[in-house]
Structure 1
Amino acid sequence: MTEFDGLPVLRSPVAIAAFEGWNDAADASTAAVEHLEQVWQARPVTELDPEDFYDFQVSRPTITMADGETRRVEWPTTKFMVASPEGTERDVVLIRGIEPSMRWRTFCEQVLEICHSLEVERVVLLGALLADVPYTRPLPISGSASDAEAAQRYQLTPTRYDGPTGIVGVLQDACTRAEVDAVSFWVHVPHYANNPPCPKATLALLHRVEEVLDLPVPMA
């Protein structure tokens, strides 16, 4: 784990997380977190050391130019940023990364360790899946919560899915085992609109974020 001048003291923080890959049809969920990073001018706090979690032949590092001359290697990882939205007395921890290639349980332990250090009160997990739904209607959202009261409050349609899962499902299970309040929202993306971006799916997730935070999100 790499730290940026230590971890800050936050105000009643809520974490919002999304991961590229299997959990992110049309890049809808990571686009939602990226939008929040931009409109709330989030600042970097820390990131996970990618060496233990990624196969770099699958998630390759990239080379970028810095200052027009220096070439810098950027490694695939999971980053933690903090935002202080106007109109609320709480901070928001934004977690955006790539689904790990290996050591998922250790990955979840490290994510929760950082959340614990930041005194996060709730973890909101965003996902997107392909489904037989029309783009012409409001895209449905299913999900689950760590307690029945939260599921009822957010009017979550429980999923009946049984089968392989991604890091979002594993991380929510880890939250439950660690007795961390967690809720997940999965937007259903039409099969024929699976090429990113899918603004309608991203907006549907952002509206759910507004409900959890009780705070309007700029949508420009």
Structure 2
Amino acid sequence: MTEPARYVHIVDDVPELDDLEQGPVLIHSLDGFLDAGNAAAIATKALLAQSSGRVVASFEIDAFYDYRARRPPMTFSESRYEDYDPPRLVVRLNHDSLGTPYLLLHGPEPDTHWEAFALAVRAVVEKLRVRLTVSMGAVPMAVPHTRPVMLTNHATQADLLLTENIWKGQIRVPASAQALLEMRLGGWGHPAMGFVAHIPHYVAQFDYPSAAATMLESVEVVTGLEWDLTEVEAAGAAKMVEIAAQIEDSAEVRDVVSGLEQQYDAFHRSEEDGDALPLAEEKNLPTGEELGAEFERFLAGLDRPNDGQE
């Protein structure tokens, strides 16, 4: 077995956790994959803005990071290199709006040594008596921006799930370090779960704060933690206005959104009625090839230099 101490340094004493009746929650969100609309990154940024606590565990980044694939930024000033922004993969001790301590694991998704990473996180979980780990992610889906954000929830135990998912049967998906971590933690007897937000595929490459707010609301439900989500919700509302303004200029995109709305509404009606999912009303929608140029123009309109988005 890989020695986890080789890959992570955990502080010896965290007195803030001593008075908890149960162990703390560990929330994790890793950069690099499974984050359409930057939803998990926005959620993580919101948590750090409210409480960026001290680092209680740090991972050996050189063991996990491919510097040539994701080159960190440096500053070159006239004739010399004077600044370097190294990647960091850490666990912070944060507090929610009620003062309850929790742990936040964030940083780049490991490029290599996933099993060693999982073992290192296990060491953190067991050393700091973590009672539940919760992940956040997002994927592009054929859903409309005009309807509430849908989530897929997943867990190592059925009783951790909030709702049933739309998925029936099995589906093959690309692996991620976060997904492997959840599976391994479950195998080691540590409860783990997470949420994946569904992002409208036509805006998936741009910030989608509404999904971040929805995920954090669900994390609140399963953990009992609370945060002020006012700024994230306001950013989501502003983005909806921006998208709506862009769509007004494109009849083709409006047709696609209308078709997605029909499918979304048909699915939810079938859930309420307990019937099989009916097909949305047929409509003469453009093909994917026909929409390619139109979506490029639409997305280019969203990517404004002065809109405050990254």
State the TM-score, normalizing by the size of structure 2.
0.63
The list of structure 1 runs, each at least 4 consecutive aligned residues, that deviate by more than 3 angstroms after superposition, is 1-7
Q: Distance in 1 between matches of 2:222 and 2:105?
A: 16
- With 72-81 and 23-32 compared, the bigger mean Cα shift is at 72-81
Kept in 1: contact 2:133–2:192 (CA 8 A): yes
Please give the alpha-carbon distance, in whole angstroms, between the structure 2 residues aligned to 1:166 and 1:30: 16
Please tell me whether residue 62 in structure 1 is matched to residue 79 in structure 2.
Answer: no
Paired with 1:3 and 1:175, the residues of 2 have a C-alpha distance of 19
The equivalent position to 1:157 in structure 2, one of 165, 174, 180, is 165
Aligned with residue 157 of structure 2, among 143, 147, 169? 147
Instruction: Tell me, yes or no, if the aligned pair for 1:125 and 1:185 is still in contact at 8 Å.
Output: yes
Structure 1 position 74, deviation (Å) = 2.8
Contact 1:144 1:156 in 2 (8 A): no
**1:211 lines up with 2:238 in the alignment:** no
Distance 1:115 1:64, change over 3 A: farther
The reply to whether residue 77 of structure 1 matches residue 88 of structure 2 is yes
- Larger RCO of the pair (alpha carbons < 8 Å, separation 6+): 1
Structure 1 contact 60–75 (Cα < 8 Å) conserved? no
Q: Which of 183, 187, 198 is the matching residue for 1:188?
A: 198
Matched-pair contact (CA < 8 Å) for 2:97–2:228 = no
Residue 14 (structure 2) aligned to one of 8, 12, 16: 8
Letter of the 2:190 partner, please give it. Answer: V
Which of the two has greater strand per residue?
1
Q: Percent identity?
A: 25
Contact 2:139 2:197 in 1 (8 A): yes
One-letter amino acid of the structure 1 residue matched with residue 149 of structure 2: L
Maintained 8 Å contact 2:53/2:92: yes
Using structure 1 for the length normalisation, give the TM-score: 0.87
CA contact (8 A) 1:60 1:76 kept: no
Match of 2:109 in 1: 99
Q: Which among 123, 139, 142 is matched to residue 129 of structure 1?
A: 139
Work out whether residues 25 and 103 of structure 2, in 8 Å CA contact, stay in contact via their aligned partners in 1: yes
Structure of higher CA gyration radius: 2
- For residues 208 and 176 of structure 2, the distance between their equivalents in structure 1, rounded to whole angstroms, comes to 20
Q: Where is the helix percentage greater, Structure 1 or Structure 2?
A: 2
> Over the residues paired in the alignment, what is the CA RMSD in angstroms?
2.2
Measure how far apart 1:161 and its partner are: 2.6
Uncovered stretches (5+) of structure 1, i.e. residues with no partner: none
Count the aligned residue pairs: 213
